[in-house]
Structure 1
Amino acid sequence: MTASAKKYCEELYQRVVNRNAHEPEFHQAVQEVLESLVAVLEKHPEYMELGIVERLVEPERQIIFRVPWVDDTGRVQVNRGFRVQFNSAIGPYKGGIRFHPSVYAGIIKFLGFEQIFKNSLTGLPIGGAKGGSDFDPKGKSDGEVMRFCQSFMTELYRHIGQDADVPAGDIGVGGREIGFMFGQFKRIKNAYEAGVLTGKGLTYGGSLVRTQATGYGLVYFMDEMLTAKGMSLAGKTVLVSGSGNVAIYATEKVQQLGGKVVAMSDSNGYIYDANGIEVAAVKQIKEVERRRISEYVKQQPSAEYHPGCEGIWSIPGDIALPCATQNEIDDNAAKTLIKNGCQAVGEGANMPTTLAGTKLFLENGVLFAPAKAANAGGVATSALEMCQNSMRLSWTFEEVDTKLKTIMANIYQNTSKAAEEYGHKNNLVVGANIAGFVKVAEAMKAQGLV
């Protein structure tokens, strides 16, 4: 590595930290990408000369707004809303909306930054963005959630559009929330712009497979990665953290391909079922009843429930799929997984492994599928939903699923190829960052200083 490219990245990272104080998640995401890009910048010094990377780490637009709403007791509540439109070089901004008490500017910026590369990897024309609020939908009535979503959209609507910025769901934002937000957008705009939000219900412009897409896509990527190494999901014992949308459908697809998921979790604790998780029971608890994962043991008495979600990584397993939230696998959890013989890790959540944990996996020969590649199936299918909305068509489940599987296979091949081309064979973290970056950088170079 030449000193100039390495020094350039180190100095740029320090400027990012200084300019974005008290935002450790964003710092972490930028550091990982910059470390991967040294080899690219050596080969393409024009990216430094044109300020491509400086512009890439600075959002094109950041929006913060007040969200007032009335709870069921008649009391006024006030939350904070965010939308960070990070990069539109290859298409309209695209990225989910997260409702969770942990949301603040740094979380949204980290997610939006990751989204640039993830969206680029899909091969589809979508830029990077993210949004959200510190509102917590847990324990709220449908009426409270509706009133909040309507207030949130009353401000957000002026910043989005089917050719400008297309939000989707994320943690805390599912079909219910998307429906309420779409209804308010339509009401304010007096126009039926179906493509302005994705993750919609099937009765008003949604796409089949969208619900399953992130979880299915994760497993399709893992299957492709394992096959390339002469391995298979069949017969493997799998640990899946989380019990939301991604975790549920990753579990479903693993079991369809012959693997056995024995553990799932939520923020309170985890369940262990040596016989294999009954997905239908988890769907009922989480998607219908909206209750805690501990309820599972009432339906499956042979299963165990343990408080403390971090304990899930102490269970011996062949494959780990972290599908809950950022930084859930630290270096200690990584050491435990390695000690227990874990062969592969696939990130279903956004950045669920710390930099130290990722380094340990790579150093110990654990196959590692980074989030920006492995969990891109959700946004890829969102883009397919946009296509259907533009054409006013609805594709069958099989058509969308086939396209999703092809996209995930292509992401693996492109990521693997980029890693090898730049001297980091088998390092998919570097490969994903490079493959995602180059496409965006070339588009930025072509469009001038904007």
Structure 2
Amino acid sequence: MSDNNATGLRDFIDWVQQRNPHEPEFNQAVRELASDIYPMYTEHQGWRAAKVLERLSEADRIITFRVCWEDDHGEVQVNRGWRVQHCGAIGPYKGGVRFHRTVTVSVLKFLAFEQTFKNALTGLPIGGGKGGSDFDPSGRSEREIMRFCQAFMDELYRHIGENTDVPAGDINVGRREIGYLFGHYRRLVNTFSGALTGKDIEFGGSHVRMEATGYGLIYFLRCMLAQREQELDGLSIAISGAGNVALHAAQKATHLGAKVVTLSSSQGTLFSKQGIPCEAIDRAIEQSGSTTDVLKTIQSDCGGDWLKDEKPWGQRCDVALPCATQNEIDADDAQALADSHCQIVAEGANMPCTEDATRLFKENKILHAPGKASNAGGVALSGLEMAQNASFSRWDQEQLNDKLLEIMQDIHAQCIQHAGDEDSYKDYHRGANIAAFQRVANAVMAQGVG
């Protein structure tokens, strides 16, 4: 990068940070994308004149609202709700709803920002958004969760719709919660439409939706391995998390002959040197309860060691798949993976690696796929669910799985096209960011200033 470009990039990053103080997750997401695309951006006079990068560092709108509801004891509870509609230049806003005590504006802004570029990579006509609440569903009864979902939708319904904004599930928002949200939306607007995705198959949901992010992650991983003329069969894989993405990634990986040696929760890591059997993973997918409970059940089924308060990254593996939460892999974890001769890191979560970890992976020539590319399978299937809803049709499982595979292969091809080739090292971060930014920036430019 030239000195002028480096100065311009620093000035832009400083400008973003001054406008968004106390929002570390959002600033990190913008900084990582801008660092990759800035040389290309400065060469495009039209983008610069229209200040496309500056415009894309601001959400179209951020909606904040109060959520009041009654618990089972008749006591009124007050939570906050948000919907960040980041960019609708390519299509209706699309992104999940998260219910968790750690939800903040910074987290939702970073997720919506990333979602914009992730959705662009799918090739589908969908923009980027994200929403949620600081509501903590743990320990709440079924009826309390239903009442909260209905109170949340009492405000959200004004801002969504099949051609406006189409929310989906995320952390603590699965099919049950989507059912409550959709049911209340339908009653409020008196319309049955594809205004939410992730629904049950009986009322407009799609086959493969639950599996899509985890399966898509493995399809992307296979493409990365093919670049090195390798196969998944026989490789050891360390996976973090034990939720939907982690378990379905583990399931598909074991079906294809890999050995999954870890799953984890916030309480610790389950490690099995011989690999966790596919039958145990299949049973875990059907189990309800906390991730720690799921892991304890797997351990009772097939053994393994419970490493209390430890992350998975200290274990020997060929491939690491962080599928838990943002910034879960720091510099020490990255160095541990490098020391154990890990070859590939592919993100199943959104931005699970710190900037220092990403730098260490590159220095050690570890292939590293960003979440906006490798975990795009979930939103790809959501987009296909929207298409089915719009046409009042239902596609079968094989057809959808083939479409998912095709989309993930296309995303990989886009990354490779723009990744560069430094000593045969493919920079997937650079490739994904450039490919996605080009599509979004061109759409923004074509629609004028506004």
Query: Which category describes the TM-score, using the shorter chain as reference length?
Result: over 0.9
Q: How does 1:23-422 map to 2 (within 5 A)?
A: 23-193=23-193, 195-282=194-281, 284-285=283-284, 287-291=286-290, 292-296=293-297, 299-300=300-301, 302-308=303-309, 310-420=310-420
Name the CA distance, whole Å, in 1 between partners of 2:56 and 2:313. Answer: 35
Aligned 8 A contact 1:281 1:299 in 2: no
Letter of the 1:192 partner, please give it: F
Counterpart of 2:446 in 1: which secondary structure?
helix
Deviates more, 1:417-426 or 1:205-214: 417-426
Q: Deviations over 1:154-189 (max 9, x none)?
A: 100000000000010111111011000000000101
Counterpart of 1:420 in 2: which secondary structure?
coil
C-alpha spacing 1:388/1:421, structure 2 compared with 1 (3 Å): farther
C-alpha spacing 1:86/1:424, structure 2 compared with 1 (3 Å): farther
Q: Offset at 1:251? A: 0.3
C-alpha spacing 1:65/1:447, structure 2 compared with 1 (3 Å): same
Name the CA distance, whole Å, in 1 between partners of 2:334 and 2:105. Answer: 28
Aligned 8 A contact 1:92 1:165 in 2: yes
Aligned 8 A contact 1:98 1:173 in 2: yes
Determine what percentage of the aligned residue pairs are the same residue.
48
Aligned 8 A contact 2:98 2:171 in 1: yes
Name the CA distance, whole Å, in 1 between partners of 2:76 and 2:334. Answer: 44
User: What residue ranges of structure 1 are gaps of 5+ in the alignment?
Assistant: none
Q: Offset at 1:311? A: 2.5
Name the CA distance, whole Å, in 1 between partners of 2:373 and 2:236. Answer: 23
Q: Deviations over 1:178-210 (max 9, x none)?
A: 0000000001011111x1001110000001000
Q: Offset at 1:42? A: 3.2
Q: Deviations over 1:415-446 (max 9, x none)?
A: 11012299996101011011000011011111
Name the CA distance, whole Å, in 1 between partners of 2:48 and 2:281. Answer: 49
Q: Offset at 1:123? A: 0.6
Name the CA distance, whole Å, in 1 between partners of 2:448 and 2:422. Answer: 26
Q: Offset at 1:275? A: 3.0
Counterpart of 2:426 in 1: which secondary structure?
coil
Q: Deviations over 1:314-370 (max 9, x none)?
A: 111111000000000000000001101111111000000001001101110111111
Q: Offset at 1:150? A: 0.5
Letter of the 2:303 partner, please give it: S
Aligned 8 A contact 1:199 1:382 in 2: yes
Q: Offset at 1:282? A: 4.7
Counterpart of 1:155 in 2: which secondary structure?
helix
Name the CA distance, whole Å, in 2 between partners of 1:349 and 1:74. Answer: 37
Deviates more, 1:81-90 or 1:299-308: 299-308
Name the CA distance, whole Å, in 2 between partners of 1:9 and 1:28. Answer: 14
Q: Name the residue aligned to 2:9.
A: 9
Letter of the 2:339 partner, please give it: K
Q: Offset at 1:72? A: 1.7
Q: Offset at 1:38? A: 1.7
Q: Name the residue aligned to 2:442.
A: 442
Aligned 8 A contact 1:2 1:42 in 2: no
Name the CA distance, whole Å, in 2 between partners of 1:298 and 1:446. Answer: 55
Name the CA distance, whole Å, in 2 between partners of 1:222 and 1:421. Answer: 19
Aligned 8 A contact 1:243 1:286 in 2: no
Aligned 8 A contact 2:242 2:295 in 1: no
* Pairs aligned (count): 448
Name the CA distance, whole Å, in 2 between partners of 1:152 and 1:73. Answer: 19
Q: Offset at 1:225? A: 0.8
Name the CA distance, whole Å, in 2 between partners of 1:217 and 1:350. Answer: 14
Name the CA distance, whole Å, in 2 between partners of 1:102 and 1:96. Answer: 15
Aligned 8 A contact 1:297 1:305 in 2: no
Aligned 8 A contact 2:96 2:170 in 1: yes
TM-score (norm 1): 0.96
Deviates more, 1:366-375 or 1:2-11: 2-11
Q: Deviations over 1:277-311 (max 9, x none)?
A: 24554554565331324422562362221221x43
User: What residue ranges of structure 2 are gaps of 5+ in the alignment?
Assistant: none
